[in-house]
């Protein structure tokens, strides 16, 4: 059944979701989860809210593409000699291998989550999201300790196996509650990268990840089209535009200070509040 909301309310929810996407995407906190909770609190089903959390990625994609345009152009130059040892070829291989691993892991997770959210109650979905947020908090705590424990060796570009691991981690982030940046930065830090280098490699991969996350709900199954129909094309476009503008405005500053943020505490608090709300708020 499609939910109907007054136009002003739907636009307000969409604008808030876009603002959250534009800021939180660049932090080790799950932006899609925050947006899922916003739409769910606005009265939409969790299946629709989850899709909105993915579609909002379109806005941040344009900002990331512009911000990392130099790296993207370098990777494209690697197409001339993809198997060479040159930096552009190695960067291309990192993006290709990691993106393939993301699809292999992420697509089945998306299908399972979409089906589960369509079949479960709101309280169960909120508890599941809360638990996954607490897991992300644990990942963030580990990441913060690894980053604090040493300066790192500032690895250049990951090889095949590390690229595959980072990409697979990005696929796992299709789970609501799991932060893409937190889970992809962690293996890079463990491999010896500095915090700054790990963040850059993670967010460079995010260019393709953001595009894929936005496309999957539309390209796979009917969930995406149903969600857009429920929310309305206008509010969805507002969400994407606001996310793009917010991302353009904050990406540089957020990336500069993201490695210093104690996001483990923030994520733990959000996760605990989500579980409490699921248990005490009648739905």
pLDDT tens, residue by residue, 251-272: 877 767 655 655 555 566 665 7
Q: Give the pLDDT score at 17.
A: 94
Write down the pTM of the prediction: 0.79
Nearest residue to 166 (alpha-carbon basis) of 205, 138, 218, 110: 205
Q: Give the pLDDT score at 8.
A: 73
pLDDT tens digit sequence for 157-215: 888 999 999 999 999 888 887 878 778 888 888 887 777 788 888 888 888 888 888 88
- Residue 4 sits at φ, ψ, to 5 deg, of -120, 135
Positive/negative CA dihedral, 182, 175, 163, 208: negative
Question: Per mean pLDDT, which of 239-243, 250-254, 273-277 is the most reliable?
Answer: 239-243
pLDDT tens digit sequence for 124-167: 777 777 777 787 777 767 766 766 655 555 567 888 999 999 99
**Dist CA 165 CA 236 (whole Å):** 33
Cβ count within 10 A of residue 161: 10
């Amino acid at each position: 059944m499609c939910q109907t909301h007054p136009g002003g309310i739907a636009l307000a929810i969409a604008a808030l979701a876009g603002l959250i996407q534009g800021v939180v995407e660049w932090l080790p906190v799950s932006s899609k989860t925050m947006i899922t909770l916003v739409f769910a609190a606005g009265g939409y089903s969790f299946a629709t809210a989850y899709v909105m959390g993915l579609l909002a990625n379109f806005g941040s994609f344009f900002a990331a593409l512009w911000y990392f345009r130099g790296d993207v152009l370098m990777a494209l130059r690697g197409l001339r000699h993809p198997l060479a040892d040159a930096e552009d070829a190695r960067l291309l291989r990192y993006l290709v291998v990691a993106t393939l691993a993301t699809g292999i892991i992420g697509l089945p997770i998306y299908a399972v989550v979409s089906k589960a959210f369509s079949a479960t109650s709101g309280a169960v979905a909120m508890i599941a999201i809360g638990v996954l947020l607490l897991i992300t908090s644990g990942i963030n705590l580990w990441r913060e300790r690894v980053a604090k424990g040493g300066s790192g060796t500032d690895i250049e570009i990951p090889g095949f196996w590390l690229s595959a691991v980072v990409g697979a981690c990005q696929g796992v982030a299709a789970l609501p509650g799991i932060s893409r940046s937190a889970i992809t930065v962690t293996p890079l830090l463990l491999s010896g990268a500095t915090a700054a280098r790990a963040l850059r490699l993670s967010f460079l991969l995010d260019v393709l990840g953001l595009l894929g996350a936005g496309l999957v709900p539309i390209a796979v199954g009917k969930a995406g089209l149903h969600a857009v129909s429920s929310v309305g094309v206008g509010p969805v476009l507002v969400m994407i535009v606001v996310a793009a503008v917010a991302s353009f405005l904050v990406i540089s500053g957020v990336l500069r200070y993201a490695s210093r943020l104690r996001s483990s505490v923030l994520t733990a608090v959000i996760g605990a509040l989500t579980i409490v709300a699921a248990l005490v708020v009648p739905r």
